[in-house]
Amino acid sequence: MLTILFDGVAYGMLLFILAVGLAVTMGLMNFINLAHGAFAMAGGYITVLLMQRMGVPFLVCLPLAFLGAALMGALLERTLYRPMYNKPHLDQVLFSIGLVFMAVASVDYFLGSSQQNIHLPVWLKGRTEIGSDPFMLGMGHYRLFIIAVCAALTVALQYVLTKTRFGSRLRASVDDQRVAAGLGINVNLVFLSTFAVGSGLAGLGGALGAEVLGLDPTFPLKFMVYFLIVVAVGGTSSITGPLLAALLLGIADVAGKYYIPKLGAFIVYSLMIAILIWRPQGLFVRKAGK
């Protein structure tokens, strides 16, 4: 029982880190980026390749996965994404889904289509169990690690967005680009760095998730639906919305598969439909907005 809750939280946290970048680009920059999962996949593959081919330790790989994906995000933002900001949403969707297919095909071509395996360090492999049977809580160390990392990142993100100068610049640029630019804010730079950080977080999520979710070239397609559910249910106006949505989704998914395995895959979608009928704007949306 408690174990299921714990697994659900870990899964939800992972989904949150993977999807938060998407929430930021969609909510703040008003851009629908379906290729978000491709950056997550990039992070995953960076980790796998570094560990397998060069023997880099796991903990060093994580920041590298973040940096690699962020760099890629920055590069693509500058070259491909920026001209798309003012296009209609349909163009954006078609453009980014095209990117996904290209990413899937090229990873398949260069690295093969098989599942990649990560060998975790020994200290992350164990499991701690507390309490006795009906209320036993079994915690995999790796899942504990995921929760800790993701919680730290959430706090940091929330702080940056609400308390720092960069955060207010970002919000200003989103609200009205022209006025923000008139006030001397370099809007392009703000968007560039936001996009890069969002991609980097996805990359980190991909690296952390490779062990739990698996990693193969179809990763961006497999998880696109989950990202979109998180964003749709959570709303895009804050960090807490997607966080709670991801946790809800994670717990519902894990518990559903445990208690009603026959319906396993449906639970998440039914939940989403119910929530969206009840609150079409998403669960945690503030009034007003744009």
Partner 1 sequence: MKRRQFTAAALAAATFAAALPALAQDNTFKIGLILPMTGQQASTGRQIEAAARLYMAQNGDTVAGKKIQLIVKDDTSLPDTTRRLAQELVVNDKVNVLAGFGITPSALATAPIATQSKTPLVVMAAATSSITEASPYIVRTSFTLPQVSVALADWAPKNGIKKVVSLVSDYGPGIDAEKFFKDRLIFNGGQVTEALRVPMRNPDFAPFLQKVRDSKPDALFVFVPSGAGAAVMKQFLERGLDKAGIKLIATGDVTDDDQLNDMGDGALGVVSSHHYSAAHPSATNKKFVEAFGKANKGMRPNFMAVGGYDGMRVIYEALRTAKTTGKATPSGDALLAAMKGQIFESPRGPIFIDAQTRDVVQNVYLRKVERKDGQLYNVEFDVIKDVKDPGKTR
58 touching partner 1, by CB under 8 A = no
**Distance between CA atoms of 146 and 144, rounded to whole angstroms?**
5
257 touching partner 1, by CB under 8 A = yes
In the chain, what is the greatest distance between 2 CA atoms, to the nearest angstrom? 64
For residues 166 and 269, which CB has a smaller minimum distance to partner 1 in the complex?
269
2 touching partner 1, by CB under 8 A = no
265 touching partner 1, by CB under 8 A = yes
Sole window of 19-27, 148-156, 182-190, 213-221 interacting with partner 1 (rule: CB under 8 A):
213-221
49 touching partner 1, by CB under 8 A = no
254 touching partner 1, by CB under 8 A = yes
Going residue by residue from 86 to 125, which x/- string records binding to partner 1, judged by CB under 8 A? ----------------------xx--xxxx-x-x-----x
220 touching partner 1, by CB under 8 A = no
**Distance between CA atoms of 139 and 44, rounded to whole angstroms?**
24
In the complex, the smallest distance separating the C-beta of residue 135 from partner 1, rounded to whole angstroms, is 13
Of these, 97, 172, 255, 271, which contacts partner 1 (CB under 8 A)? 255
In the complex, the smallest distance separating the C-beta of residue 185 from partner 1, rounded to whole angstroms, is 40
**Enclosing H/E stretch for 178:** helix 177-182
Sole window of 25-33, 73-81, 158-166, 216-224 interacting with partner 1 (rule: CB under 8 A):
216-224
Q: Give the relative orientation of helices 89-111 and 219-234 as an angle to the nearest 10 degrees.
A: 150
Of these, 72, 213, 232, 239, which contacts partner 1 (CB under 8 A)? 213
For residues 129 and 175, which CB has a smaller minimum distance to partner 1 in the complex?
129
145 touching partner 1, by CB under 8 A = no
261 touching partner 1, by CB under 8 A = yes
130 touching partner 1, by CB under 8 A = no
Sole window of 89-97, 137-145, 159-167, 168-176 interacting with partner 1 (rule: CB under 8 A):
137-145
**Enclosing H/E stretch for 191:** helix 187-213
Sole window of 25-33, 72-80, 262-270, 274-282 interacting with partner 1 (rule: CB under 8 A):
262-270
Are 36 and 10 within 8 A, CB to CB?
no
Close Cβ partners of 278 (under 8 Å, ≥ 6 residues apart)? none
Of these, 158, 188, 218, 281, which contacts partner 1 (CB under 8 A)? 218
What residue ranges bind partner 1 (CB under 8 A)? 3-4, 7, 11, 108-109, 112-115, 117, 119, 125, 127, 129, 138, 140, 142, 211-214, 216, 218, 222-223, 226, 253-258, 261-262, 264-265
